[in-house]
Structure 1
Amino acid sequence: MDLATVLLLHKSSFIVGAICFFYVRWRSGATPGLGVLAVGFSLLAIASTLAGLDERLHMSDNARTFWSFSLGANGYGLMAVGLYGLSRRHSSLRDWWPMLLPVTLTLSAAITPWYVDNGLRASVFNGNAAILLALSGLVIARDFFQERLTARFGLSAAIFVATSLSALVVLGFTFPNDAPLPPRYAFFLLIICHFAVALFVLVLVQERAEEKLTRLANTDMLTGVPNRQHFFSSLPKSLGPGDAFVLIDIDFFKSVNDRFGHDRGDIVLVDVARTIARSIPPSSVFGRLGGEEFSLFVRGETEASAFALAEQIREAVNTLDLVFEGKQVSTTVSAGVALWEANLTEQDIQKRADQALYSAKNNGRNRVELFTGIGLTDSSPAPERRLARAG
C-alpha cells in the first residue's frame, strides 16, 4: 500500500473518531472526557493532513513538519486526558498532567530544530504516543473494579495493542535491521487500532447509559433504595430453611403528612429507608414496596436471629432525631417476621409476615412480631421479653 493511501486512512481514522465523539457529546450532554477526546482526535487528523501535504501549502517544510509533530504529540496528550475523564466519569484539573510530556516536546522542538531529522522525529513522536496510550490503558483497566462494564475490556485491549504498535515503530526506526515488524506495517495496524479505540469509547458510553437506565428503573426515586419491582425480581427462585421475610411499616406516618406536609413526610421516608439500609447485612434483599412500607429478605436465619435483626432495625429507627417547625418528631416502625417452612411458597411467607406486621400494629406499634409455626408470638411491649420469647 502506497504512502498516500496510508496517510489518508490514518487521517480518516481520526476524523471519524472526532465526528463521533462530538456527536455523542452533543446528544448525551456533558459526558466527561468526550469533548477533550474529540479535540485530541481533531488535532491528530490535522497533524496527519499536514504530514501528507507538500509545498502547495505555502508553508516551509520545517514549519509544516514542526506543526505536524507538535499538533500530533499534543493530540495524543489530549486523548489521554479525555480517556482519563471518560474512565473516571468526572473532569478534574489533575487529569491534565499527561499534557506535560507533549508540551515539553513541543517547547524543545521550538527551541532546537531536532525534529527535522525524520528518524528521530518519528521515534520521539511514537514514543510519546506509546507512553500516553499505556497510561490511558492502565486507567481504563484499573477503573473496571469501580465500573464493571465489558466495553472496558475492548477499549483497554485496543489501547494496549496501539501502545505495542507505537513501540514497534520506535524500534523500527531505532534498530531498522532488527525490528520484529517494519514500521510501515506497524503504522498501518495502528490505524485499525484508532478505529477500534473510537468504537469501544462509543460502546462504553452506550453501556453506561443502559446501566443508568436499568438502575433508575430498579431504584425508588425518593429514597434511593431498591423499588418494589427490583425487590421481587431479586428474590431467589426457590426458598429453603433459614429464608426469612421482614415487613416494616412506619408508625403513624399519615399524621406526619397531615401535621407538617408531604415534603416533611418525604424526609421521614428517606431517613427511615437509609437507616434500614445501614442496619441490614450486605447480602440482604431490601426494597420499598410503596407508601411507608418496606420489605427485607434474608437467608441463613433462625427465628431468634431474624427477630433480632428486625429488632435491631426498629431500635436504629428509634434513634432518628427529627425536628419539624421546632417540634420533636418521634419516628418508629413496626415489623413482622416470618420464616420458610416446608411446603410454603414465597407468597405464603409474605402473607405470614404481613399478618405478623398487622399484629404488631394492633398491639401498640413500635414493636416486632414473629410468626411461628403455630401462629404469632405472644406480644409484649418490652423488647427484651419479645426477644426472649422469639428464642
Structure 2
Amino acid sequence: MDLATVLLLHKSSFIVGAICFSYVRWRSREPGLDLLAVGCCLLAVASTLAGMGEQGSIAVVLWTFGSFSVGVTGYSLMAMGLLRLSCRQRKWSDWILVAAALILSAIVGGMHWYEYNPARAAIFNAAAAAFLTTSGTRIVKDFFADRLPARLGLLASLSAATAFSALVVVGMIFPDHAPIEPRYAFFLLIICHFSLALFVVVLVQERAESQLRHLANTDALTGIPNRQRFLASLPGAPRNGDAFIMIDIDHFKSVNDLYGHETGDVVLVGVAQAIAAIAGKGMSLGRLGGEEFALFLGNQTEETAFAKAEEVRRAVKALVFSAGTTVISPGVSVGVALWKGAGDLQKLRDQADQALYCAKRGGRDRVQLYVHSPLLTSPGPTDSQTAGCLR
C-alpha cells in the first residue's frame, strides 16, 4: 500500500472519530467527548499537512514541524478526553498532558529534530504511545467503579494502538531488526483509531442504558430500590432461614398533616437511609410504597431476624428532625416472619404483614415476630395480649 493511501486512511479515521464524538457529545452530557472531537480534528489536520508535505505542495518546515506539533497536541487532547470520559470528572490537573505535548514540541523545534524523518516519526509515535498508555491506565482503574463491557473493548483498542505505535518507534530506530515494517504497523494503527471511536460511542450508550435501568429500579425520593426492584431481587422459592421484615413509619400521616409534605419527605428519606445503613449489602431492601419498607434476608434464625429488626427500630428511634421549633422523633412498627418450610414467598410476606399489623395494634414502635404461639415482641404488650393477632 502506497504512502498516499495510508495517509488518506489515517486522516479519514480521525475525521470519522471527530464526527462520532461531536454527535455523541451533542446527544449526551458525558465529559471529555468535546476534547476527543477536538483532538481528532487536530490529528486530521496534522495528517493533512503530512500528506501535502509528501506531495511537495507546502514548505518543508510547515509540514514537518507543523504536523508534529499539531499531531502531538491532538493526541494529548484525546488522552485528556478519555481521562474525563472514564472518571466522568473535569480536573485541571488533566491539562498537564497538553502542557507536556507543548513542551515536547518546543524541544523538538528547538533541537531541529523534526528535520530528520526517522527521529520525528519515532518521537511522535513514542509520545502517542505514552498518551495512550495514560488513558488505558485510567480506563483500568475506573473499571471497578463503572463495570461496563465497553470498557474492555476500549482498553483493547488503546492497548493495540499503543503496541502498534511502539512498533513504529522500533521500526524507525532499528529498521533492520523491526518485527514488522513501520508502514504496516501504521496501517494497523489506523484500524485501532476506528475501533477506539466505536467503543467510545458504545461506552456512552451503555452508560445511558445503565442510568435508565437505575432510574427505573430506584425510588426517586429516597434513593433506595423501589417495589419493582425489590420484588425482582427475591429468590424464586423460599429456603430455610429466609426472613421477611416489613417496616412501617408510625403516625406518618400526622407528620404530613401537621408539618407539611416537605418535612414528611425529609423524615421519609432519613428513615430510608437509616434502614439502608443497617441493611448493608447482605440483604434486599425496598420501599414498597408510601411509608412502608421491606427487608429480605437469608440464613437467619428467629432470634437473629428479630435482632436485625430490633436494630432497625432502634436506629430509626435515634433519628431527630426539626420542624421549626418542634422536634420530630419518628418510630417504626416492624413485622418479622421466618420461613418454616410451608408456603411460598407471598405467604411469607403475608405473615410479615400480619406481624406488622400486630405490632401496630400492640402500641407501635415495636418489633413483632410471626409465630403460631406465642409471639415474640419488643417492646410493648405481653405475649398474651398480642398472640391473638395471628390466629
Cα offsets for 1:279-322 (capped at 9, x unmatched) = 12421000000000000000011001100100010000011111
Contiguous gaps of at least 5 residues in structure 2: 386-391
**Shift, 1:108, TM fit:** 1.4
Q: Quick one: distance in 2 between partners of 1:378 and 1:180?
A: 77
**Residue 194 of structure 2 corresponds to residue 195 of structure 1:** yes
Q: Quick one: distance in 1 between partners of 2:367 and 2:95?
A: 56
Cα offsets for 1:312-341 (capped at 9, x unmatched) = 100000111111011011200000000111
Q: Quick one: distance in 2 between partners of 1:32 and 1:99?
A: 17
8 Å CA contact 1:243–1:297 kept in 2: the answer is: yes
Q: Quick one: distance in 1 between partners of 2:55 and 2:378?
A: 95
- Give the RMSD, CA atoms, in angstroms: 1.7
**Residue 325 of structure 2 corresponds to residue 326 of structure 1:** yes
8 Å CA contact 2:268–2:291 kept in 1: the answer is: yes
Q: Quick one: distance in 1 between partners of 2:158 and 2:34?
A: 19
8 Å CA contact 1:250–1:293 kept in 2: the answer is: yes
| Seq. identity, % | 55
Q: Quick one: distance in 2 between partners of 1:270 and 1:259?
A: 18
* 2:137 corresponding residue in structure 1: 138
Letter in 2 for 1:211: S
8 Å CA contact 1:80–1:135 kept in 2: the answer is: yes
**Shift, 1:204, TM fit:** 0.5
8 Å CA contact 1:257–1:265 kept in 2: the answer is: yes
The 3-state SS of whatever aligns with 1:236 is: coil
Letter in 2 for 1:48: S
Q: Quick one: distance in 1 between partners of 2:150 and 2:140?
A: 10
Letter in 2 for 1:106: S
Alignment of 1:43-122 (within 5 A): 43-54=42-53, 59-122=58-121
Cα offsets for 1:3-55 (capped at 9, x unmatched) = 111111100000000111011101113x1111111111110011001110149
Alignment of 1:319-358 (within 5 A): 319-358=318-357
Q: Quick one: distance in 2 between partners of 1:58 and 1:17?
A: 27
CA distance 1:5–1:360, shift in 2 (3 Å): same
* 2:250 corresponding residue in structure 1: 251
**Shift, 1:382, TM fit:** 7.8
Provide TM-score, normalisation by structure 2.
0.95
CA distance 1:79–1:149, shift in 2 (3 Å): same
Q: Quick one: distance in 2 between partners of 1:339 and 1:291?
A: 24
Q: Quick one: distance in 2 between partners of 1:284 and 1:138?
A: 34
8 Å CA contact 1:248–1:335 kept in 2: the answer is: yes
8 Å CA contact 2:363–2:381 kept in 1: the answer is: no
The 3-state SS of whatever aligns with 1:287 is: strand
8 Å CA contact 1:159–1:197 kept in 2: the answer is: yes
CA distance 1:195–1:379, shift in 2 (3 Å): closer
Aligned residues: 383
Cα offsets for 1:87-144 (capped at 9, x unmatched) = 0011111222222331111111332322110010000000001111111111112211
8 Å CA contact 1:101–1:128 kept in 2: the answer is: no
The 3-state SS of whatever aligns with 1:52 is: helix
Cα offsets for 1:189-209 (capped at 9, x unmatched) = 000000000000111111111
Provide TM-score, normalisation by structure 1.
0.95
